[in-house]
Chain A
């Protein structure tokens, strides 16, 4: 199967566009639906219905996998899952309507659910 290119840095989705604070990727990866959902739940649980959350990535790439203990051949394997391709600088989540301390902790919890290192960023970062 064609796995696509993950080279370079993100040229879009690389700034805080909707909220006040964001969570930015520092590495490249395939982030699957379960990881995105786990991170979203972690943010919402910590923020306790305060503020607003944006998810800036969508798992639009599917991938297939051969079942275990199967011989090669006999056609393509079945659909395994859906993933979002993220590159360094992609802003995955944004929040607004909460203090910086709350946003920072919520993003820290979300980052623990993801397989790559992340960075907390603010809209007001200058220079």
Chain B
């Protein structure tokens, strides 16, 4: 992974109000930690950061960070976004050494159209979206591309079958399913699924009135309600007398 140069400034504001003002001024709050450096609060120009992220294939970017004259090699560990607008809220930077191996999660993307999808009408299922890998910063790939062109219906690609770039080691179980081609859904299967997925009728607890009783009750609702009440009131009064 090639490093991209970016300028950051040290940040003194840490509270919510200050950080909000910072964002409205076109800066993104950031923090750098890891390696030999002490954790340091930073601020980065939002335009510069967006420019870097939008020109890379994923959010895994190796930065050559210049902070007040000092230079750091850092990986973007996490970018917090506003879930609605996508606006960048905060950036975590991981200071790394050029020769030390680091562990990151890299997105996996399929290339080509699977035979099972093209001719058989199947559906390519993308099961794992990110792979945990370990490598030195210069060997880290931005994205791992997997050729799925030869996949037929019912066939799968597991982690052990993925060819990684030299110097990159995949972590985790090797039998993890990454891509598979599922058989197309037939009309009968869809009908059965719809019948099963349809909302079960909500059991309504309502007072059921028989046809014969319902009509007079409606006509003389007030009378019907008041009549027993009056009777009840009178009875204790009579007893008092």
Tell whether, in the assembled complex, residue A78 and residue B84 are in contact, meaning their CB atoms are under 8 Å apart.
no
- Known A40-B197, A49-B184, A127-B50; judge A9-B83 contact (CB<8 A): yes
Interface membership of chain B positions 67-109, coded 1 if the CB is closer than 8 angstroms to chain A and 0 otherwise: 0000000000001010110101000000000000000000000
Residues of B contacting A67 with CB < 8 Å?
Answer: 206
Q: Which size bracket describes the interface of A in this complex?
A: 20 to 34
Tell whether, in the assembled complex, residue A15 and residue B86 are in contact, meaning their CB atoms are under 8 Å apart.
no
Tell whether, in the assembled complex, residue A78 and residue B206 are in contact, meaning their CB atoms are under 8 Å apart.
yes
Minimal beta-carbon separation of A35 from chain B (angstroms):
10
Minimal beta-carbon separation of A40 from chain B (angstroms):
7
Tell whether, in the assembled complex, residue B205 and residue A79 are in contact, meaning their CB atoms are under 8 Å apart.
yes
Tell whether, in the assembled complex, residue A89 and residue B84 are in contact, meaning their CB atoms are under 8 Å apart.
yes
Tell whether, in the assembled complex, residue B125 and residue A49 are in contact, meaning their CB atoms are under 8 Å apart.
no
Tell whether, in the assembled complex, residue B88 and residue A127 are in contact, meaning their CB atoms are under 8 Å apart.
yes
Minimal beta-carbon separation of B148 from chain A (angstroms):
12
Tell whether, in the assembled complex, residue B204 and residue A51 are in contact, meaning their CB atoms are under 8 Å apart.
no
Q: Which size bracket describes the interface of B in this complex?
A: 35 or more
Tell whether, in the assembled complex, residue A9 and residue B199 are in contact, meaning their CB atoms are under 8 Å apart.
no
Interface membership of chain B positions 108-139, coded 1 if the CB is closer than 8 angstroms to chain A and 0 otherwise: 00000000010001011110010000000000
Tell whether, in the assembled complex, residue B123 and residue A126 are in contact, meaning their CB atoms are under 8 Å apart.
no
Tell whether, in the assembled complex, residue A26 and residue B84 are in contact, meaning their CB atoms are under 8 Å apart.
yes
Q: Is B64 an interface residue (CB 8 A)?
A: no
User: Interface of B with A (CB < 8 Å)?
Assistant: 49-50, 53-54, 58-59, 79, 81, 83-84, 86, 88, 117, 121, 123-126, 129, 182, 184-187, 190, 194, 197-199, 202-206, 221, 225
List 13 contacting pairs A-B, 8 Å CB cutoff, sorted by A.
A10-B83, A33-B202, A44-B194, A49-B184, A49-B190, A52-B182, A71-B225, A78-B205, A97-B117, A123-B129, A126-B58, A127-B54, A127-B88
